[in-house]
Structures are given as C-alpha cells and as structure tokens.
Amino acid sequence: MLELLFQENPKEEEAQEELFEFEQQELITENEELNHYRNRYEEVQQQFHSVKYDLEKIIDKTTYVKSSFGGGYLKLDLSKDEFENIKQKL
C-alpha cells in the first residue's frame, strides 16, 4: 500500500502546454501616443483637484474641541448629505 503512494502517476506527467496565439498589435503613431498620455494626464489632474477640493472642504469644516475630561477631539460640521456626497465621490 505504501508503494502505491510513492509511485508516480503517468497521467500527471503528460500535461500539455497550452498554446497561446497573440494578436498583432496595432501600430500607433507618435502623435497618437502623445495625445493618449496627454489626455490621461489631464484626467488624473482633474481627479487630483477634485480630491484636493474635497479634502480642503473637510479640513475647513473641522474644529478642535477641548474636553474637560480627558483629551480633546475633532468635530466635523458637515451635514449627512454632504458627507455622503464626498464618500460617493471617493
């Protein structure tokens, strides 16, 4: 019985490699490539400015409240709708 455990299974050795056929990629010109990266850069810049604006809004609405017992805390003066809108954007 132990000999059967250590015997190699010939079916497992016959694993065949899968053949992949790659499609030929379209050649693009230098101007098309430049336009692609320029557009992508502008999209990322817009996302950055949007997130920056939301973060500045959150910081402006945050105040420090000193507690008489223990340490102070930060209070956020946003309505629930404003908070949900910011949350959905992110």
90 residues of the chain, pLDDT tens digit each: 777 777 776 555 555 667 778 787 787 888 999 999 999 999 999 999 999 998 999 999 999 999 888 889 999 998 999 889 888 887
- Do 65 and 75 touch, CB atoms closer than 8 A? yes
Taking the CB of residue 83, how many other CB atoms lie within 10 A of it? Answer: 13
- Do 54 and 89 touch, CB atoms closer than 8 A? yes
- Global pTM? 0.57
SS3 at position 73:
strand
